[in-house]
Amino acid sequence: MQAPATALDGWGSLRGQAVVLEFWATWCDDCVAAIPHLNGLAERLQGRPVRFIFITNEDPAVVKKFLKTHPLRGWIGLDADSSAFAAFGVRGIPHTVVLDPEGRVAGQTYPELLTPGMLEAVLNRPLAR
């Protein structure tokens, strides 16, 4: 359910990738409805440097049970203290934050509005010097 332990060394393991942070919950109908779209994006962008991370502040047992019937194509981030929600100013879900390959916020949107073209544009931005 979580990222591999070797990938959890902070931003360093994600540098060079566009990162989609999807803030969601199992009880959120709109979040659940967005899963096929987000999974489709992950499949379409497979092989590209894009990482999907689904962040929830729910109990791990609830999330684990949910994932048995609703697989997500990405890492699951368990945010027990809601610090990630606070850090990105998330006030409602679903909420999508896209980070560029240098870890800067490139945009915020709703999951159904996220497109492959938007992610390609983030990947093709010139790197800061």
pLDDT at 8: 46
Q: Is residue 115 part of a domain?
A: yes
Check: CB of residue 123 under 8 Å from CB of residue 49.
yes
Contacts of 78 (CB under 8 A, 6+ apart): 1, 2, 55, 56, 57, 58, 60, 63
Q: Is residue 10 part of a domain?
A: no
CA distance 26 to 125: 34
Question: Mind listing the pLDDT tens digit of every residue in the chain (129 residues)?
Answer: 455 544 445 667 788 899 999 999 999 999 999 999 999 999 999 999 999 999 999 999 999 999 999 999 999 999 999 999 999 999 999 999 999 998 899 999 999 999 999 999 998 876 665
Of 52, 13, 48, 12, nearest to 123 by C-alpha is: 48
Q: Is residue 7 part of a domain?
A: no
* 93, burial (CB in 10 Å: exposed 0-12, middle 13-18, buried 19+): buried
Number of structural domains (the chain) is 1
Q: Is residue 4 part of a domain?
A: no
State the residue range of the domain holding 24: 16-123
Q: Is residue 53 part of a domain?
A: yes
Q: Is 68 left (phi over 0), alpha (psi -120 to 50) or beta?
A: alpha
pLDDT at 125: 77
User: Which CATH number characterizes residue 20's domain?
Assistant: 3.40.30.10
